[in-house]
Amino acid sequence: MSDTVLSIRNLSVEIPTRTGVVKPVDGVSYDISAGEILGVVGESGAGKSMAGNAVIGLLNPPAHIAKGEIWLNGSRIDALKGEAMRRLRGKEIGMVFQDPLTSLNPLLSIGDQLTETMLTHLPISRAEANNRAVAALEEVGIPGAAERIDSYPHEFSGGMRQRVVIALALCAEPSLIIADEPTTALDVSVQAQIIALLKRLCRDRGTAVMLITHDMGVIAEAADRVAVMYAGRLAELGRVRDVLTQPQHPYTAGLMASTPLASAGKTRLHQIEGAMPRLDKVPDGCPFHPRCTYAESKCRAAPAPQISQDHAACWFPLMAEKVS
């Protein structure tokens, strides 16, 4: 881990409700290095997006960071407020949202939205910003970028719009990109292109990427390392190849077994019994124990070990031979 860009330590996000405090993110730690893509997977409500929002400082009140630290390029940013945080957004941390159809302002041309972002963060002239906007569009593969700079979002297809969104997220050259389900709203045929684009751009620039998704296929395709989240907690962290082929946490193993494969001949998919607990009813001990086939009394009694290194948060991590 030479140049760590983002470092999250023991991060907890809390939302006070009438019935008590819920913790959508609970004691999560991970690092992302320059040029590395960390895939964050989990079911809906596992807290993966919430952690991303916490990093970029866009948690919707009353959600707030209750505990833990977030470090970006060596400075602590979790306590930054208002104007200081705004300067980081776009400049140091870029974000790509799920739905490209609603991410762009329909009344402003894409050129306007690009130059506006650059002029906010970079000390350049308007003419220079225009040139860079065209270059940015060319880089993300918009054909005829110079002519299309004055086009409005509705004149592009969904995949093209996501390319524009990526250009917008990258135009001020941030060191970290948070991509929150960037391909979920796209056609399957376009998904691979967008992932490849994101991968190429970030490799070239050495940008760190937090790739939030529920799609194991996307993770396998793009990520270097993967963080599996369950009920707000980190279940497993590790290199993609290790986690996908030899999952140590029973939940990861269940997820892998329930991912459809084109090559497999099986007609029925495995499914994990039960459902992820509601955030206000997370059980004591390991949050996964009610659904875990390997659970023992220790799992019910003591919370699973917290991890920050490549490891599984499990008392009885699966060994290679236990995986069927």
Partner 1 sequence: MLAYTIRRVAQSALVLLIVGLVAFSMFRFVGDPIENMLGQERTIEDIERLRDQLGLNQSFAVQYFKFLEGAAQGNFGVSYRQGRPVAEILMERAPATLELAAVSAVFAIVLGIAFGVLTAIRRDGFVANFIMSASLIGVSLPTFLIGILLIYIFSVELGWLPSFGRGETVQIGNWSTGFLTSSGLQALILPSITLGLYQMTLIMRLVRSEMLEVLRQDYIRFARARGLKSRAINFRHALKNTMVPVITVIGLQLGAIIAFAIITETVFQWPGVGLLFINAIQFVDIPVMAAYLMLISVMFVAINLIVDMLYFFIDPRLRVDRAGGH
Write the single-letter amino acid at 15.
I
Q: In the complex with partner 1, which residue's Cβ is closer, 169 or 292?
A: 169
Largest CA distance in the chain: 67
The least distance separating partner 1 from the CB of residue 83, rounded to whole angstroms, comes to 9
- Among left, alpha and beta (phi > 0; psi -120 to 50; other), residue 293 is alpha
Question: Rounded CA gap, 290 and 93, in Å?
Answer: 38
Q: How far is the CB of 52 from partner 1 (least distance, A)?
A: 10
**Single residue of 34, 35, 43, 58 touching partner 1 by CB under 8 A:** 58
First vs last Cα of the chain: how many Å apart? Answer: 33
Interface residue with partner 1, options 10, 105, 157, 258 (CB under 8 A): 105
Instruction: Give, as ranges, the residues between 141 and 170 that touch partner 1 (CB under 8 A).
Output: 152, 154-155, 165, 168-169
Q: Rounded to the nearest whole angstrom, what is the least distance from the CB of residue 189 to partner 1 in the complex? A: 22
Q: Token pair for residue 14?
A: 């809390």
Closest among 177, 169, 184, 158 to 100, alpha carbons compared: 158
Query: Per rule CB under 8 A, is residue 84 in the interface with partner 1?
Result: no
Tokens of 301: 């009694």
CB of 70 to partner 1, least distance (A): 16
Asked if 90 touches partner 1 (CB under 8 A), the answer is yes
Site for partner 1 in 276-305 (CB under 8 A): none
Instruction: Among 104, 216, 240, 256, indicate the residue that binds partner 1 (CB under 8 A).
Output: 104
Site for partner 1 in 227-266 (CB under 8 A): none
Q: Are 51 and 25 in contact (CB under 8 A)?
A: yes
88 part of the interface to partner 1, by CB under 8 A: yes
The residue among 10 and 102 lying less far from partner 1, judged by its C-beta, is: 102
Does residue 184 interact with partner 1 by CB under 8 A? Answer: no
Chain positions 106 to 125 lying near partner 1, rule: CB under 8 A, are: 106-109, 116-117, 120-121
Q: d(Cα 162, Cα 181) in Å, to the nearest integer?
A: 11
* DSSP per-residue letters across 138-152: HHTT-TTHHHHTT--
List the one residue from 102, 157, 245, 309 that touches partner 1 (CB under 8 A).
102
Of 126, 113, 191, the closest CA to residue 152 belongs to 113
E strand map for the chain: 4-17, 20-33, 37-41, 64-72, 75-76, 93-96, 176-180, 208-212, 225-230, 233-239, 311-312
**Which amino acid appears at position 281 of this protein?**
K
Task: Examine residue 61 and tell whether it contacts partner 1 (CB under 8 A).
Answer: no
Residue 269, SS3 per DSSP:
coil
Number of residues interacting with partner 1: please give it, by CB under 8 A: 31
Least distance to partner 1, CB of residue 152, Å: 4
Among 56, 70, 218, 222, binds partner 1 (CB under 8 A): 56
Q: Is the peptide bond preceding residue 62 cis, with omega within 30 degrees of 0? A: yes
DSSP state of 289: G
Q: Which residue number, 77 or 304, has a Cβ lying nearer to partner 1? A: 77
Q: Does 28 bind partner 1 (CB under 8 A)?
A: no
Q: Which of 94, 232, 250, 285 contacts partner 1 by CB under 8 A?
A: 94
Which residues make up the interface to partner 1 (CB under 8 A)?
56, 58, 86-91, 94-95, 97, 99, 102-109, 116-117, 120-121, 152, 154-155, 165, 168-169, 172
